[in-house]
Amino acid sequence: MNGSSIRMTVAAGMAAMVLVSGYARAGQAGEESKRIAVVNVSRVFKAYKKVTDIQTRLEALFEQRKKAIIKKEDDLQKDIQVMKMDPEDPQKNRAKLIKMQQLEIAKFDLDKEKYEFAIEVEKKRLEEMKQVLKEIRAAISDTGKAEKIDMVLRAPEYDMEGNPEADATKPEEKDEAQTSSELVRRFRENPVLYFSQGVDITSKVITKLNDDYAKSGGGAVAPAPAPAPAGK
């Protein structure tokens, strides 16, 4: 190999090294520019005022029917107790036998009414919660974009001891695991095992949600409770 060829080979090698080094620096810069944040979804859900307002509204909406069902159940239980205290043999007393059958039918109807009522309440709550979760996702997304975050992860629901992460203002909310399996389960459920407080944007998400809710007039007007259906 002559001197000219050697010089060309060395030059090509140096160029390749510069190119590789440039790619490496670009890759490192790209990695350093990525920003990751976490959000404690449970805290957001508890602190979002709309959630409390929905619960209050649903309770008012179904309160009359709930009371009517409770009264029916109490009256039925009293009738059943009276029947049990009667020493008369129903096989020898047709009137008592008929009354017992009527009570059984009433209990069956009441159980059916309670089941249908629970389904109706849950259906309404599901509709409301779908919208709430949609708004929470949007708030997380908007906050992430505003803070120039590249990825938002769900913050751990449990602390390093396996206890639920409690609001700093409500330390009594902590609940220690009672069994080893519960402790391990809580540990495994944590999507993020460590993060610095500087990457937690939970408070910002909560603030945005409640500010937007207030601007929309949320909670200003509560609907009148629905009347109990006739015959219920």
Residue-wise pLDDT tens digits, 45-82: 999 999 999 999 999 999 999 999 999 999 999 998 88
Residue-wise pLDDT tens digits, 15-55: 444 444 444 444 444 555 678 999 989 899 999 999 999 99
Query: What is the rounded average pLDDT for all residues in the chain?
Result: 78
SS3 38: strand
Confidence of residue 98 (pLDDT cuts 50, 70, 90): confident
Confidence of residue 148 (pLDDT cuts 50, 70, 90): very high
Contact present, 163 and 174 (Cβ < 8 Å)? yes
SS3 25: helix
Helix residue ranges per DSSP H, 86-216? 94-146, 180-189, 202-215
Q: How far apart are CA 49 and CA 55, in angstroms?
A: 10
Select from 171, 140, 134 the least CA-distant residue to 155: 140
**Residue 73, number of CB atoms within 10 A of its CB:** 15
Residue-wise pLDDT tens digits, 121-140: 999 999 999 999 999 999 99
Task: Tell me the longest C-alpha to C-alpha distance in the chain.
Answer: 125
Contact present, 48 and 212 (Cβ < 8 Å)? no
SS3 13: helix
Confidence of residue 84 (pLDDT cuts 50, 70, 90): confident
At 32 the pLDDT is 57
Q: How far apart are CA 26 and CA 181, in angstroms?
A: 46
Of 198 and 61, the one with more pLDDT: 61
Select from 140, 190, 137 the least CA-distant residue to 164: 190
Above pLDDT 70, what percent of the chain?
Answer: 71
Contact present, 135 and 208 (Cβ < 8 Å)? no
Q: How far apart are CA 18 and CA 175, in angstroms?
A: 57
Q: How far apart are CA 81 and CA 104, in angstroms?
A: 13
Give the position of tokens 């008369």. 88
191 backbone φψ class: left, alpha, beta (φ>0; ψ -120 to 50): alpha
- Looking at residue 217, its amino acid is G
At 223 the pLDDT is 47
